[in-house]
Amino acid sequence: MSAATIPVLAIDDLVVEIGGNRIVDHVSLSVGSGRILAIVGESGCGKSLTALSVLGLLPRAARVAGGEIRLNGRDLLPLGEDALSDVRGNEATIIFQEPVASLNPLMRVGEQVEEALRLHRGLSPTAAREEAIAMMTRVGIPDAARRARQYPFELSGGMCQRIMIASALICRPALLIADEPTTALDVTIQAQILELMRDLRGDVGTAIVLITHDMGVVADLADDVCVMYGGRVVESGSVEATFASPRHPYTKLLLATIPTLHGRRKTTLRTIEGMVPSADSWPDGCRFRTRCPLADEACREVPHLADVGHNHAAACWHTARVEALA
């Protein structure tokens, strides 16, 4: 493979276990330079654990039990804590849902943006400050030099998320993981942050993994999408193909349950029966089969991701019948 075609992030057959339960079960995905991949799914589907594994940030109870995670071709899993800290904040960074909780309340925000530069690039305080202020301006913080001297409590949630983004991008990382970056924000502020992320991908060239439960955010921002259910990828493909003709019943139904802005009001909405199962009660075979209207005997066997079109794959024995599901 030539250097140009190596994806920035390639996860291959990742398995993450918590107390013997496979929370992430043979997940594979990749994202190229300047691309945005969305991992979408409901609580407990394994989307956040998949992302946290990349940076070695799994909670203590969880452990990677198999697979490979390659950042620009280098396998991250065998790396020790020291080598990983060189990667974190430098080549790969992460921002979380709660910007205010992610920032150090006792440190001026400017210093928090500079931190990675001084740690990884050994810049002088003056040079680091200048670069931090330039990056803060770039992410849309007005009057950045004054703001840099303020503490997180003096800034709004949207501003704090901009600070997080500035500090995540300051070392021009190859990969940015954004874990529900707009979920805690008001809708008009969410629109600002989405626009900012759309804007930044072009000039920084960073590959972005966007973790979200919001199909609207996926449709707005992502190039490709990975739909997860019960710790597995059930569908993946370009956003256009996946939304236009979903080929896994879960994706299809999930999109159909969301009220639209032009449908008939007060009608009975499409539902998915049952509830999101927890990891200790996942069925054998296809994990969606207990809620799936298409399920039959075949589904007792695990379906693997198979191509259903160009850059589009689904893990279902009945992909041909999904379209007729209404």
Partner 1 sequence: MTAEALLQVRDLKVHFKLRRGVGTPGGVVKAVDGVSFDLAAGRTLALVGESGCGKSTTAYAVIGLEQPTGGKVLFDGRDITHLRGADRAHLARDIQIVFQDPSAALNPKMSIADSVAEPLAIAGWTRNDRRKRIAELLDRVGLPATFAERLPSALSGGQRQRVVIARALALSPRLLILDEPVSALDVSIRSQVLNLLLELQRDLALAYLFISHDLSVVRHIADEAIVLYLGSVMERGPIDLMFEAPQHPYTKALLSAIPLPDPVQQRQREKIILTGDLPSPLAPPPGCPFISRCPTRVETCATARPELRPTISATEAACFLTR
Sites of contact with partner 1 (CB under 8 A): 42-43, 156, 158-159, 186-192, 194-195, 213-220, 239-240, 243-244, 253-255, 257-261, 263, 265-272, 275-276, 291
Kindly tell me which of 2 and 153 has the beta carbon lying closer to partner 1: 153
How many Cβ atoms sit within 10 Å of the Cβ of residue 271?
Answer: 10
Tokens 């006792």, residue located: 106
8 Å CB contact between 35 and 56: no
Kindly tell me which of 66 and 157 has the beta carbon lying closer to partner 1: 157
Least distance in angstroms from the C-beta of 157 to partner 1:
8
Kindly tell me which of 124 and 311 has the beta carbon lying closer to partner 1: 311
Kindly tell me which of 186 and 203 has the beta carbon lying closer to partner 1: 186
8 Å CB contact between 221 and 15: no
Kindly tell me which of 40 and 148 has the beta carbon lying closer to partner 1: 40
Least distance in angstroms from the C-beta of 86 to partner 1:
36
Kindly tell me which of 137 and 192 has the beta carbon lying closer to partner 1: 192
- Give the three-state DSSP class for 2: coil
Return d(Cα 75, Cα 90) in angstroms, integer.
Answer: 16
Least distance in angstroms from the C-beta of 322 to partner 1:
16
Q: Which two tokens stand for residue 21?
A: 């339960």
Least distance in angstroms from the C-beta of 237 to partner 1:
12
Backbone angles phi, psi at 287, to 5 degrees: -75, -10
Least distance in angstroms from the C-beta of 44 to partner 1:
9
| Amino acid letter, 40 | V
Least distance in angstroms from the C-beta of 244 to partner 1:
8
Q: Under 8 Å CB-to-CB from 128, ≥6 apart: which residues?
A: 114, 117, 118, 121
Q: Which two tokens stand for residue 194?
A: 């989405």
For the chain, the C-alpha Rg in angstroms (whole number) is 21
